[in-house]
Amino acid sequence: MLRFLKSLWDLIVYIAAIFVLTWLIVHYVGQRTEVNGTSMYPTLESGDQLITDKLSYRFRSPERFEIIVFPYEHRANTYYIKRIIGLPGETVRIDESGTIYINGKALTENYGSEPISYAGLAGQEVRLGADEYFVLGDNRSNSEDSRFGDVGNIQRQDIIGRAWLRIYPWKRFGMVE
């Protein structure tokens, strides 16, 4: 009987350890995120399942062109997935032809699926604060991003993490770039 109780206790401790480890991973290391919509097309498609890396930004700052996940403050349990274009301390402007300027210099990038037709807030120079990021969706004509007042500049503390790995659909499994 004593041996049975010890085995039962060991099983309970083992299961509790698995739950604690799972909780730590989900809250501090990574989480599953589902893409809903076409704002990041063609890089990400609606229905893609991603793993969001929540650990990297504890040791380094987000970098230009990384895809980040952050909450949409006007709707509970809604997260946006966008690409970082402007970094803290920079100025961002989009001209009438859709060219993006960072600190007055045209940005060379090839992530947008089409030219920007609406500059929004970035039609005038946007100066980013010490902990602010300017983000855009890759599907520039169908993305609500930093050009719009209800999204605006993203505060560093609001960034959950970076989109790291696409786990579904299987045929598109791989790193998110």
Tell me which residues are annotated as active site.
Answer: 39, 82
Residues facing residue 83 across a β-bridge: 67, 136
Q: Please, what's the b/e burial string for 126-160 (b: 16 or more CB within 10 A of its CB; e: otherwise)?
A: bebeeebbbbbbbbbeebebbbeeebbbbeeeebb
Q: Is 133 helix (H, G, I), strand (E, B) or coil?
A: strand
62 closest CA partner among 173, 166, 158, 167: 158
Using only C-alpha atoms, the chain has a radius of gyration, in whole angstroms, of 20
In the numeric block, which tokens belong to residue 57? 């930004």
